[in-house]
Amino acid sequence: QSALTQPASVSGSPGQSITISCTGTSSDIGTNDLISWYQHHPGKAPKLMIFKVTNRPSGVSFRFSGSKSGNMASLTISGLQAEDEADYYCCSCAGESTWVFGGGTRVTVL
């Protein structure tokens, strides 16, 4: 199973909104809602930011939101802050099939 496709980098100024796309196929993103997003600051443990496409775990800022349309999922960060600068990964982590991550997106706050 091929990795999901994410842009290598996205940048924005503080206060702006950015969206990270995650493109898969009808075999993964298109047919399951177990899409999750992870924030990873290098050298630290990754952190779950969004689960089941749109849900935020307790403690995750409301500035993070997820959506899905067809074979593409998206993560939007609104009101961009310096602490949001990190790598972000989508994952189709579902059920009995093999699970797969996106290639990762480096978010830079200008």
Partner 1 sequence: VQLVESGGGLVKPGGSLRLSCAASGFKFTDAWMSWVRQAPGKGLEWVGRIYSKGSGETTEYTASVKGRFSISRDDSRNMIYLQMNSLNAEDTAVYFCTWVGSTMALDYWGQGSLVTVSS
Report the C-alpha gap between 21 and 90 in whole angstroms: 9
Residue from 77, 104, 107, 109 that binds partner 1 (CB under 8 A)? 104
Give the three-class secondary structure for 92: strand
Residue from 5, 12, 48, 60 that binds partner 1 (CB under 8 A)? 48
Does 20 participate in binding partner 1 (rule CB under 8 A)?
Answer: no
Q: Maximum distance among all alpha carbons in the chain?
A: 41
Residue from 11, 31, 41, 52 that binds partner 1 (CB under 8 A)? 52
Does 38 participate in binding partner 1 (rule CB under 8 A)?
Answer: yes
Using CB under 8 A as the criterion, what x/- string covers residues 60-89 for binding partner 1? ---------------------------x-x
Report the C-alpha gap between 14 and 43 in whole angstroms: 24
**DSSP string for 69-103:** ETTEEEEEE-S--GGG-EEEEEEE--TTS--EEB-
What residues make contact with partner 1 under the rule CB under 8 A? 1, 3, 34, 36, 38, 40, 44-48, 51-52, 55, 57, 87, 89, 91, 93-94, 96-104
